Amino acid sequence: MINLKEFEAWFVTGSQHLYGEETLNQVAEHSLAIARSLDNGSQIPVRVVFKPVVKTPEEILRLCQEANTAPGCIGIIAWMHTFSPAKMWIGGLKALKKPLAHLHTQYNRDIPWGEIDMDFMNLNQSAHGDREFGFMMSRMRMNRKVVVGHWEEAETLQQLGVWSRAAVAWYNSQGMKVARFGDNMREVAVTDGDKVEAELVFGYSVNGYGIGDLVKVVNQVSDASIDQTVQEYEDRYRVMDSLRKGGDRHSALRDAAKIEIGLRQFLQAGNFKAFTDTFEDLHGMVQLPGIAVQRLMNEGYGFGGEGDWKTSALVHTMKIMAAGLPGGNSFMEDYTYHFEPGNAQVLGSHMLEICESIADDKPACEIHPLGIGGKADPVRLVFNSAPGPALNVSVVDMGNRFRMIVNEVEAIPPRQALPKLPVARVLWKPLPDMKTGCAGWILAGGAHHTGYSQNLTVEHIQDFAEMAGVEFVLIGKDTSLHDLKNELRWNDLYYHVFNK
Ligand code: MN
């Protein structure tokens, strides 16, 4: 889907001329060693590129301007080995448009007790040099990530890795195109929103296309390519007998393949990374796109049902962030509850469109009636999802700002078979518990649609929210409704005061 090694974070060390040439050479040597080590660490999926030590306001400004325009540069990892008076950074930081991670580290792990002298103290000053740098960014109200720890420590690398994944997703979000077939599901509130503001804040554009434009492409799909895709279905999934070659519903499988191929061609031709459709507006389509959406999501495309462009963009962004990690990310919807005392659960699913990447086994390929939409029965993949920690993420438009909400959940295996439920699904328990988790989500205005992730953490999403400068609300193991209600009230005030 995406090769993270095509992206680079610049490792930038600040200093000043006060110390003289010899000290500055040592600073550069140490910086190079750290940058190389970060670059070689498996925890950081992007390249880390060493940049010469900056010592003047002019050098700092030039470097920040270069970072802004350099293709593939996702942001800056900054470290003040020595004292770098922070007024020198004002111009550069004002100009910087890319994310910044402040690595608060020092070259030596331990104090060399027997050897330490004033020369050593003169060289190794990050304990206070980084505080000076931090003050300036706080004074400027700059969002950034602060990572504290020795540069060889696994946790330090892990945190920088998380930040770099969020920064790649942020980079990718700039200029990303979302195709919207038809409009919003009629009268639905949470899936709608301000697309102009979304482009200003997140960088992606959402534009509508008549379903006829897509149908035209679908109708031109060749029989030979349908044969090929049908064969892939038969090889890859447990295709039910009636859908197989010679089965009485086989033509429906061919129709589904034709929709998938046409949809993919349309998205590729327009360089779209995400899309939405709505069952109310699919004139000329034989079936609702079911397996087509599931497989396209598995290839990395974002999707949101019922015209939900915010979730569609979010799902693609989450897939970029998680590139190469085991586990998957999918469009999801809270569907039905199990309110058994002490064992309450949520059944998450959608009519059809759950991504194959979260399947715990070889999916079944089946055809069943849908009940809404007024089309021929759609072909879909049916599966359960693996147990384990997971996340639901929602982006909502609060009128004066976007709010990102995360609920940590624990996915659990279904206790019983669901023989009559012909859709892909997940069972989970929200944290901290069913009642607090659901009440918190509803109080925060979280949507019924989410991006569901098996492999991202709260930290990934929070880092991304800070890069976007949007409100971030966490409902997790430590959430209390009392505190959450206050947080939401105070956030309202904060965004009323600080939003431009
Ligand atoms: Mn829905």
59-71 pLDDT, tens per residue?
Answer: 999 999 999 999 9
Which residue matches tokens 């069943």? 368
383 Cβ contact list (under 8 Å, min separation 6):
354, 356, 359, 360, 361, 362, 363, 364, 424
CA of residue 191 to ligand 1 center, whole Å: 9
Distance in angstroms (rounded) separating the CA atoms of residues 447 and 395: 8
CA of residue 227 to ligand 1 center, whole Å: 31
CA of residue 350 to ligand 1 center, whole Å: 6
Mean pLDDT of the chain: 96
The two tokens of residue 484 are: 């959450």
Check if the beta carbon of residue 207 is closer than 8 Å to that of residue 180. yes
CA of residue 334 to ligand 1 center, whole Å: 9
Q: What confidence tens digit (pLDDT) does each residue in 146-156 have?
A: 999 999 999 99
Task: Give percent above pLDDT 90 in the chain.
Answer: 95
pLDDT (0 to 100) of residue 500: 57
CA of residue 321 to ligand 1 center, whole Å: 24
With vertex at residue 114, the alpha carbon angle to CA 110 and CA 120, rounded to the nearest 5 degrees, is: 65
Q: What confidence tens digit (pLDDT) does each residue in 285-340 have?
A: 999 999 999 999 999 999 999 999 999 999 999 999 999 999 999 999 999 999 99
CA of residue 217 to ligand 1 center, whole Å: 26
Q: Look at the pTM and tell me if it is higher than 0.95.
A: yes
CA of residue 300 to ligand 1 center, whole Å: 20
The two tokens of residue 314 are: 């979010």
CA of residue 124 to ligand 1 center, whole Å: 56
CA of residue 306 to ligand 1 center, whole Å: 6
CA of residue 309 to ligand 1 center, whole Å: 12
